[in-house]
Amino acid sequence: MVPTHTLNPSHSIYQIAHPSDSPLGLYLHVPFCLARCHFCSFYLQVYRTENVQKYVMALEGEIQLYADLLQLQATPIATIYFGGGTPTILTADQLSRIGNLIRSTYHVIPEAEITIEAHPASVTSSYLHQLLEAGFNRISFGIQSTSDSELIQLGGRNQTTQIAMAITQAQAAGFSNINIDVMYGLPGQTLETWTSTLHDILAFSPQHISCYALTIEEGTRFAIDQRRGKFKEHDGDIQVAMEEFACNAFTTAGYQHYELSNFSQPGFQCRHNMQYWQGGSYLGLGPSAQSCLGLTRFGNVADLDRYCEEIESQSLPIRNYELLEREQALRESIVLGLRMIQGVPLDLVNTIHACSDWQILVPQLIENGLLEQASGHLRLTTRGHRFADTVAVTLW
């Protein structure tokens, strides 16, 4: 059964449906940090206690609003992800209260993956124990590098001693599903310092590693520095060497390369992100959070004050609502699915292949050595991994 709910009268343009028996991922955006890192373009505010209190009340309101409007009591919630920003800027009591509200109003399955992004300097041993008690079973540390001079270039939010202490304390507290984010192509980074970062993080044996190239986003300190000639990106060959070096280091250490930028020990793929890459539905709560429910895509207003005001007046703070045609939704989910190393089942690709421009484009991409067919799937070739964005733009 697919219930369709028309939201309150002021939002009657939104027709949001979700198959009640297919699992849903829940994302909660916590838009606060102590300071902005030099590469970060996420929507966030510098931490102020009164704003956090206001935000928590509004978030609880939004959780309740969706529970009523979409009848989410019947929908299995398989993953919950607190991202940001810095979710660990909230007190353990605030996080626990939000978690309890979700559990009492939505149907969270017992084996749900519940992740919190954490800033190493913002956690203590007792806080980590409280997170476990609050139900979090996965923690993700955005450390980026273990070189103090590179960390200063990024904005000085982390120090290597804090990183080591936070990860060790999380393991000692009982977290058995830990992710570490690292980044290559940083200013001042060399193959030697990158090797050293990889060596340091592998020494912690995290269950999961996300490894991204630095991209310079508009509005960031790095973009300003680049325009002023103070910051020069690494040339492509070094970036490729860093990427290949990391891939070899992780796979040699027993990690599975399961998504373009993600590696895990067997059985520890990030189930929440798989929901994005495999065309599943997810509901994003909090300012600027994005949602995909069936054929609908929408995002929340990226403004804390507006978000709080609209929730207070019982309105959904939705912007950029889009209802897709079935074929476009399928195209998008296949293009995203190509981020998975195993690719996308050919059966699925063939449902639009036969009656669209893909009939020409897919064979061309295969001929150019960017896509291949293997084990009943269409997937990027090893060379195609480097040109994944080009493939995505071609097929979008």
Q: Which residues bind ligand SF4 (CB under 6 A)?
A: 33, 36-37, 40, 42, 44, 84-86, 119, 142, 157
Nearer to ligand SF4, 44 or 260 (CB): 44
Nearer to ligand SF4, 55 or 106 (CB): 55
How many separate helices (H) and strands (E) can be counted in the chain?
A: 15, 19
Contact 335, 396 (CB under 8 A): yes
CB of 181 to ligand SF4, least distance (A): 9
Q: What is the separation of C-alpha 218 from the centre of its chain, rounded to a whole number of angstroms?
A: 20
CB of 7 to ligand SF4, least distance (A): 30
Nearer to ligand SF4, 119 or 138 (CB): 119
Token pair for residue 215? 């991209």
CB of 211 to ligand SF4, least distance (A): 15
CB of 42 to ligand SF4, least distance (A): 5
Round to whole Å and give the CA distance between 387 and 345: 20
CB of 351 to ligand SF4, least distance (A): 38
CB of 143 to ligand SF4, least distance (A): 10
Q: Which of 217, 252, 246 is nearest to 233 (CA)?
A: 217
Contact 222, 40 (CB under 8 A): no
**Dmax over Cα atoms in the chain, in whole Å?**
60
With H, G, I as helix, E, B as strand and everything else as coil, classify residue 265: coil
Round to whole Å and give the CA distance between 144 and 133: 28
Give the DSSP H/E element, type plus range, for residue 242: helix 236-252
CB of 293 to ligand SF4, least distance (A): 25
Quick count: other Cβ atoms within 10 Å of Cβ 168? 12
Nearer to ligand SF4, 20 or 45 (CB): 45
Nearer to ligand SF4, 87 or 294 (CB): 87
Nearer to ligand SF4, 6 or 215 (CB): 215
Residues whose CB falls within 8 Å of the CB of residue 313, separated by 6 or more in sequence, listed in order: none
CB of 144 to ligand SF4, least distance (A): 8
CB of 40 to ligand SF4, least distance (A): 3
From residue 171, alpha-carbon distances to 164, 198, 202, 206 in Å are: 11, 19, 14, 9
Nearer to ligand SF4, 158 or 207 (CB): 158
Contact 141, 120 (CB under 8 A): yes
Residues whose CB falls within 8 Å of the CB of residue 368, separated by 6 or more in sequence, listed in order: none
Nearer to ligand SF4, 32 or 106 (CB): 32
Round to whole Å and give the CA distance between 372 and 343: 9
Nearer to ligand SF4, 5 or 36 (CB): 36
Round to whole Å and give the CA distance between 361 and 365: 6
Q: What is the separation of C-alpha 154 from the centre of its chain, rounded to a whole number of angstroms?
A: 20
